[in-house]
Amino acid sequence: MPQFLNLMPLSDAMQVYKENLPPFVPETETVQTVEALQRVLAKNIVSLEALPPFTRSAVDGYAVIAADTFGASESLPAYLKIVGEVPMGNEPAFSIVRGETAVIHTGGMLPEGTEAVVMVEDTQLSDQSEVEIMRAVAAGDNTIKAGEDVSPGEEVLPAGMSLRPADIAGLIALGKIDVEVNLKPRIGIISSGDEIIPPDQKPHMGQVRDINSYSLSVLVQQHGGVPVRYGIVADTAEALEKSLRQAYDECDAVIITAGSSASTRDLTAEVVGQLGQPGVLVHGVRIRPGKPTILAVCDGKPIIGLPGNPVSALVISNLFVVPTIEYLLGVKVVRPVPTVKAQLSTNVSSQTGREDYVPVKLRCTDDGFMADPIFFKSNMIFTLAQADGLMYIPADAAGLPPGEMLEIVML
């Protein structure tokens, strides 16, 4: 039976894979901005207008000429004549001269002649037509100047950014109710293995249901791709080649979960390698789970072979499948991955020279979160469903002791 003779360190595997992926320019489509969550901007967004379009009050109060308030204090207030109230949603029909003021609400447009706003808390009404100003303000105080948020011609959002609610708010603020985004990549998914049957069937002895086609579909959707399932393929060179060729022709990338035995994995690598140049770049990575991973680029198209074991396939997808989707999506703005800080509850052993990802369950204690590692065997999918996240053991550690502070990536 064949062995893995040349396991590659993870960083080397990622590097050789990325170096062989050609520059990719996704096609684009225009969608409603309100439906564009998590879509990736195709072009830089440049504002054609100023935001806000006029100088607005940031508070409820009185619009003033700053010089009229100089020296004003609680003991020695300035007295200003109220000549009007700024209507919301309209330009004030009046202007202000020295000695005058107008009532203004938050968001209201400053009347001509005024340059600041005194907060209502710093005033006192003498009578309906006069207000005592008890604090001096400088020009610009308590206002948002026209163009202070965005000026015309300013680039506000870069191409390659995955849109979040705040970005969508920005697009809407500029009146951009449609937005050009990169197409979602089509990711072909193939399950191989003679023991695998569709999940709606009852397995006979020796058979198990196809999990990977579905869990990987969900993962692809979650990260902004369109999964295309090609079903289950028998472990023969002809069947694998036919299915892989079709998925390769119809999709932007292909994931195949190889049968779990070593000979089947080698068969998969052989067939993948024939799809194009340079072919298989990585076959075997020094990580657990995920050792039998295949990374290939065939005439510019990424092909990923994942372990048949559904726990491994899902855990390791974060390392190989997610970056591939991001590459095809044209993601250029990369944000840090948030984690949960937790203390390891018990010793976890590992092999020096190998990177490990271990599922953990998080437990809330008075001292913060404790991470209980879940020791998993291949194919026990509910070990993963019970977990909250994954802990990482670096290659230079022979394990981690209890009490170690971890950064858990949530599942």
CB 247 within 8 A of CB 230: yes
Please state the closest distance from residue 55 (CB atom) to a copy of itself, in A: 10
Nearer to a copy of itself, 16 or 374 (CB): 374
Half-sphere exposure for 332 (CA within 13 Å, toward CB): 15
CB burial string 22-40: b at 16+ within 10 A, e below: eeeebeeeeeebeebeebb
Nearer to a copy of itself, 351 or 379 (CB): 379
CB 184 within 8 A of CB 226: yes
Please state the closest distance from residue 408 (CB atom) to a copy of itself, in A: 8
Please state the closest distance from residue 407 (CB atom) to a copy of itself, in A: 7
Query: What CA–CA distance (Å, rounded) separates 189 from 232?
Result: 9
Find the largest Cα–Cα distance for the chain.
97
CA nearest neighbour of 119 among 64, 161, 169? 64
Query: What CA–CA distance (Å, rounded) separates 17 from 305?
Result: 13
At residue 400, the 3 state secondary structure works out as strand
Please state the closest distance from residue 184 (CB atom) to a copy of itself, in A: 15
Please state the closest distance from residue 205 (CB atom) to a copy of itself, in A: 4
Query: What CA–CA distance (Å, rounded) separates 282 from 266?
Result: 12
Please state the closest distance from residue 315 (CB atom) to a copy of itself, in A: 9
Nearer to a copy of itself, 66 or 340 (CB): 340
One-letter amino acid at 96 equals I
Nearer to a copy of itself, 210 or 281 (CB): 210
Q: What is the CA radius of gyration of the chain?
A: 31
Nearer to a copy of itself, 196 or 400 (CB): 196
Nearer to a copy of itself, 201 or 277 (CB): 201
